[in-house]
Structure 1
Amino acid sequence: MTTTPTALHPAQKRILTVLVAAQVLSGAGLAAGITVGALLAQEMLGSTGLAGLPSALFTIGSAAAAVTVGRLSQSSGRRAGLATGYAAGAAGALGVVAAAATDSVLLLFVSLFVYGAGTATNLQARYAGADLAAPHRRGRSVSTVLVATTLGAVVGPNLVEPTGWLAEAWGITPLAGPFALAALAYGAAAVVLWVMLRPDPLTTAKALAEDEAESGDQDRSGEPEVSGYTLHLVLGAGVMVITQMVMVAIMTMTPVHMQHNGHSVGAAGLVIAVHIGSMYLPSPLSGILVDRFGRLPLATASGVTLLAAGLLAAFAPPQSVPLLAVALGLLGLGWNFGLVAGTAIITDTVPLATRAKTQGTVDVAIAVSGAGGGMASGMVVAVGSYGLLSVAGGVIALAIVPAIFFATRQQKAVPVSS
Structure 2
Amino acid sequence: MTTNVPVRADHVPRVEAQRRSLTVLVIAQVLSGLGLAAGVTVGALLAQDMLGSTGLAGLPSAVGTAGSALAAVAVGRLSQARGRRPGLAVGYLAGAVGSGGVIVAAVAGHPVLLFLSLFLYGAGTATNLQARYAGADLAAPARRAGAVSTVLVATTLGGVAGPNLAAPTGGLAAVLGIPYLAGPFLLAGAAYALAALVLAVWLRPDPLLLARALEADPTADPTADPTADPTGAPDDAAGRPRADAARRRPGVPAGVLVMVLTQAVMVAIMTMTPVHMHDSGSGAAASGLVIAIHIGAMYLPSPLTGRLVDRHGPLAVAAASGLVLLAAGALAALAPDDSVAAYAVALALLGLGWNLGLVTGTAIITDAVPPATRARTQGWVDVSIAIAGAAGGMASGLVVEIAGYPLLAVGGGVLALAIVPVAVSAARDR
Shift of 1:290: 0.4
The partner residue of 1:162 within 150, 168, 171 is 168
Kindly indicate whether the alpha-carbon contact (under 8 Å) linking 1:139 and 1:290 is maintained by their aligned counterparts in 2. Answer: yes
What secondary structure is seen at the aligned counterpart in 1 of 2:282? coil
For 2:226, the equivalent position in structure 1 comes to 217
- CA deviation string 1:159-202 (max 9, x = no partner): 00000001111222100000110000000000000000000000
The partner residue of 1:381 within 387, 393, 400 is 400
For 1:398, the equivalent position in structure 2 comes to 417
The partner residue of 1:146 within 127, 148, 152 is 152
Looking at structure 2, the residues matched to 255 and 352 of structure 1 have their Cα atoms a distance apart, in angstroms, of: 40
Percentage of pairs with the same residue: 65
For 2:67, the equivalent position in structure 1 comes to 61
Kindly indicate whether the alpha-carbon contact (under 8 Å) linking 1:134 and 1:222 is maintained by their aligned counterparts in 2. Answer: no
Q: Does 2:101 align with 1:95?
A: yes
- CA deviation string 1:23-67 (max 9, x = no partner): 000000000000000000000011000000000001000000000
The partner residue of 1:349 within 348, 368, 374 is 368
Where in structure 2 are the equivalents of 1:290-305 lying within 5 Å?
A: 290-305=309-324
What secondary structure is seen at the aligned counterpart in 2 of 1:23? helix
Shift of 1:227: 8.2
Looking at structure 1, the residues matched to 227 and 332 of structure 2 have their Cα atoms a distance apart, in angstroms, of: 50
For 1:263, the equivalent position in structure 2 comes to 282
Shift of 1:291: 0.4
Looking at structure 2, the residues matched to 345 and 324 of structure 1 have their Cα atoms a distance apart, in angstroms, of: 32
Gaps spanning 5+ residues in structure 1: where?
412-418
Q: Does 2:79 align with 1:79?
A: no
For 1:237, the equivalent position in structure 2 comes to 256
For 2:388, the equivalent position in structure 1 comes to 369
Kindly indicate whether the alpha-carbon contact (under 8 Å) linking 2:231 and 2:370 is maintained by their aligned counterparts in 1. Answer: no
Looking at structure 1, the residues matched to 308 and 18 of structure 2 have their Cα atoms a distance apart, in angstroms, of: 21
Shift of 1:335: 0.1
Looking at structure 2, the residues matched to 220 and 324 of structure 1 have their Cα atoms a distance apart, in angstroms, of: 50
Shift of 1:212: 2.1
The partner residue of 2:15 within 6, 9, 17 is 9
For 2:207, the equivalent position in structure 1 comes to 201
Shift of 1:293: 0.6
Q: TM-score, normalised by structure 2?
A: 0.91
For 1:185, the equivalent position in structure 2 comes to 191
The change in CA–CA distance for 1:287 and 1:269 in structure 2 (over 3 A counts) is same
For 1:30, the equivalent position in structure 2 comes to 36
The change in CA–CA distance for 1:56 and 1:98 in structure 2 (over 3 A counts) is same
Amino acid at match of 2:374: R
Looking at structure 2, the residues matched to 227 and 375 of structure 1 have their Cα atoms a distance apart, in angstroms, of: 34
Looking at structure 2, the residues matched to 231 and 330 of structure 1 have their Cα atoms a distance apart, in angstroms, of: 28
Looking at structure 2, the residues matched to 46 and 221 of structure 1 have their Cα atoms a distance apart, in angstroms, of: 56
Gaps spanning 5+ residues in structure 2: where?
1-8, 235-244
> How many equivalent residue pairs?
407
Q: Does 2:133 align with 1:124?
A: no
Kindly indicate whether the alpha-carbon contact (under 8 Å) linking 1:52 and 1:375 is maintained by their aligned counterparts in 2. Answer: yes
Kindly indicate whether the alpha-carbon contact (under 8 Å) linking 1:224 and 1:348 is maintained by their aligned counterparts in 2. Answer: no
For 1:415, the equivalent position in structure 2 comes to none
Q: Does 2:179 align with 1:173?
A: yes
Shift of 1:224: 11
Kindly indicate whether the alpha-carbon contact (under 8 Å) linking 1:135 and 1:224 is maintained by their aligned counterparts in 2. Answer: no
Shift of 1:331: 0.1
Looking at structure 2, the residues matched to 89 and 227 of structure 1 have their Cα atoms a distance apart, in angstroms, of: 33
Kindly indicate whether the alpha-carbon contact (under 8 Å) linking 2:215 and 2:230 is maintained by their aligned counterparts in 1. Answer: no
For 2:52, the equivalent position in structure 1 comes to 46
What secondary structure is seen at the aligned counterpart in 2 of 1:154? helix
Looking at structure 1, the residues matched to 246 and 167 of structure 2 have their Cα atoms a distance apart, in angstroms, of: 52
Q: Does 2:297 align with 1:278?
A: yes
Shift of 1:213: 7.9
The change in CA–CA distance for 1:267 and 1:214 in structure 2 (over 3 A counts) is closer
Looking at structure 1, the residues matched to 377 and 60 of structure 2 have their Cα atoms a distance apart, in angstroms, of: 27
Root mean square deviation, CA, Å: 2.1
Amino acid at match of 1:325: A
What secondary structure is seen at the aligned counterpart in 1 of 2:54? coil
Shift of 1:380: 0.1
Kindly indicate whether the alpha-carbon contact (under 8 Å) linking 1:69 and 1:121 is maintained by their aligned counterparts in 2. Answer: yes
For 1:414, the equivalent position in structure 2 comes to none
Shift of 1:220: 7.5
What secondary structure is seen at the aligned counterpart in 2 of 1:346? helix
Q: Does 2:422 align with 1:409?
A: no
What secondary structure is seen at the aligned counterpart in 2 of 1:199? coil
Looking at structure 2, the residues matched to 243 and 80 of structure 1 have their Cα atoms a distance apart, in angstroms, of: 29
Shift of 1:360: 0.3
What secondary structure is seen at the aligned counterpart in 2 of 1:156? helix
Shift of 1:222: 13
Shift of 1:211: 1.0
Shift of 1:231: 2.3
Moved more, 332-341 or 217-226: 217-226
Looking at structure 2, the residues matched to 352 and 166 of structure 1 have their Cα atoms a distance apart, in angstroms, of: 45
Amino acid at match of 2:394: M
